[in-house]
Structure 1
């Protein structure tokens, strides 16, 4: 058992850890932790393949557009959101320009 533990340490130290790959992928692409982890898992920890996988998924699911709009600031009005159990309410209050 001790030999197996030492062997696994040796093998894991020769290649970059999953955490390092995940951080590199997140920094390079800007996508979420969960999506980067899914990409690395589905591509057997191959960074280049994971980037391509993320680009395809982003295009398919519209992640890039959502991320682009996330920084947009509202100049006027208020938005309120309330959710409980399986019910939700969304309220938008805009100034009247009459």
Structure 2
């Protein structure tokens, strides 16, 4: 996930990048889009990005769409792995009683 986030900063157009966010309370890692702003980098939804991408070259749109699909897949895999790990840990804790 970190590698995808770093690579996204090298994308054509360079208006947006993927940020690897961590939620301490759940242990969740997930990729989210951010835009380069004048004052700070802010979260931007894929729906909002699509509207802006419509004005860009087809190859740029395709590239961002492919990276977005990869981010969605990685987010889903992370969630599944974290759920499986939590289940396994719960089973191990239960077997010690």
TM-score (norm 1): 0.26
Higher RCO, 1 or 2 (CA under 8 Å, sep at least 6)?
2
TM-score normalised according to structure 2 size: 0.26
Which has the higher Rg, Structure 1 or Structure 2? 1
